[in-house]
Amino acid sequence: MSIMQGILLGLLLVLLSLWLFSRFIAWRAQLASPPEGRFIRVMGHQLHYVEAGQGPAIVLIHGLSGVSRHFTYSLLDELARTHRVIALDRPGSGYSRRNPRSFAGLDVQADVVAAFCQALSLDKPLLVGHSLGGAVALATALRHPQLTRGLALIAPLICMPQSTPKVFAALNISQPWLRRLIANTVAVPLMLLQREKVLKMVFDPEPVPADYAQRGGGTLSLRPSHFLAAAEDLGALASRMPQLQAAYAGLSVPLAILYGRQDRILDPTEQTQTMLECLPQTSLELIDGGHMLPLTQPQQCLAFILRHDQKGTF
């Protein structure tokens, strides 16, 4: 065996070891946080969702690298006292599988949300989107205005940030083949090493809930499929956000926005200014808190949603 052949064999053995280790961690993560809800096939995607309650419908859409457990952690059960509430794992996230032939663009995700609502026979649901889920909710309302009675967005992505938040920098991989290679080899080990640091950045300045790993779905991010879906979501933004922003003036449903003043992931001023310039009638509320408000400030989020509902905003 030549030196070059030995090097290649060694490299293959390292990659195989990383692949096996990643699969083992993913298996353990799924044992710790199994599916909570049901599955439905929509537009070639296998979607996982959790549903509770009766009454006017509310659909909860999580953000980048998030899962439906961000809402089932606390908010879903409280809303279900008076509403029919559905928390959706977006395609590729949580326990939802993305159609391998599908694009991760906001327009596609909006069409998936619309088809999902129709499949469940939801009558003009209120769309509640957190972070990237806010952009998905906006795209859904713009592409399917007859579908929803309004939008209640929590720390939403409204415009492209000037730079990718540092916590998501590792997802910024342009080549699809490289995304898959990294997702299936080094991504999971690196996430394990950086986990506490990353979580602190995401939740800062608020503390990470002690039970976030299982109850909040934190362990589910330790899977190659989850890393890959998040990288695809991030990679698709640049080609779709400009069109979304250009269409805001045509939004025909009521809109309310809740932001934490100390948000370290998205700048509240930068994000909301774009929308307020297009739609001055937008309801904007600022509270003390960071980016992960559905987990850290569930009562504030609950009051925000119900307050506008009771006022007839939606």
pLDDT digits (tens, 9 = 90+) for 118-138: 999 999 999 999 999 999 999
Please state, in angstroms and rounded to a whole number, the distance separating the CA atoms of residues 23 and 43. 27
Q: What is the pLDDT of residue 314?
A: 47
Higher pLDDT, 162 or 303: 303
CATH class of the structural domain 39-171+238-311: alpha beta
Among residues 65, 74, 57, which one has the least CA distance to residue 133? 65
- Structure-block tokens of residue 99: 């159609």
Please state, in angstroms and rounded to a whole number, the distance separating the CA atoms of residues 253 and 250. 9
| Distances in whole angstroms, Cα of residue 51 to Cα of each of 48, 197, 228, 272 | 10, 33, 26, 30
- pLDDT value at 7 more than 80: no
- pLDDT value at 230 more than 80: yes
Q: What is the rounded average pLDDT of the residues 91-115? A: 94
pLDDT tens by residue, 42-66: 999 999 999 999 999 999 999 999 9
Please state, in angstroms and rounded to a whole number, the distance separating the CA atoms of residues 80 and 190. 38
Q: How confident is the model at residue 142 (pLDDT cuts 50, 70, 90)?
A: very high
- The proportion of the chain whose per-residue pLDDT surpasses 70, expressed as a percent, equals 98
Q: How confident is the model at residue 261 (pLDDT cuts 50, 70, 90)?
A: very high
Q: What is the mean pLDDT of the chain?
A: 93
pLDDT tens by residue, 150-176: 999 999 999 998 888 888 988 989 889
- pLDDT value at 312 more than 50: no
Q: What is the pLDDT of residue 2?
A: 79
Q: How confident is the model at residue 25 (pLDDT cuts 50, 70, 90)?
A: very high
Q: What is the pLDDT of residue 203?
A: 96
Q: DSSP letter for 149, please.
A: S
Q: What is the pLDDT of residue 26?
A: 93
Least confident of 69-73, 76-80, 290-294, 309-313: 309-313
Spell out the residues 6+ positions from residue 279 whose beta carbon is closer than 8 angstroms to its own. Answer: 248, 249, 251, 255
Q: What is the pLDDT of residue 310?
A: 62
Spell out the residues 6+ positions from residue 86 whose beta carbon is closer than 8 angstroms to its own. Answer: 49, 50, 51, 57, 58, 59, 60, 120, 122, 125
User: Residue holding tokens 């690196």?
Assistant: 190
- pLDDT value at 8 more than 90: no
- pLDDT value at 197 more than 80: yes
Q: What is the rounded average pLDDT of the residues 240-253? A: 93
Q: What is the pLDDT of residue 309?
A: 74
- The proportion of the chain whose per-residue pLDDT surpasses 90, expressed as a percent, equals 81
Please state, in angstroms and rounded to a whole number, the distance separating the CA atoms of residues 299 and 302. 5
Helices 176-184 and 3-32, packing angle to 10 deg: 70
- pLDDT value at 11 more than 90: no
Among residues 242, 284, 313, 244, which one has the least CA distance to residue 155? 284
Could you tell me the pTM of the whole model? 0.94
Q: What is the rounded average pLDDT of the residues 253-262? A: 96
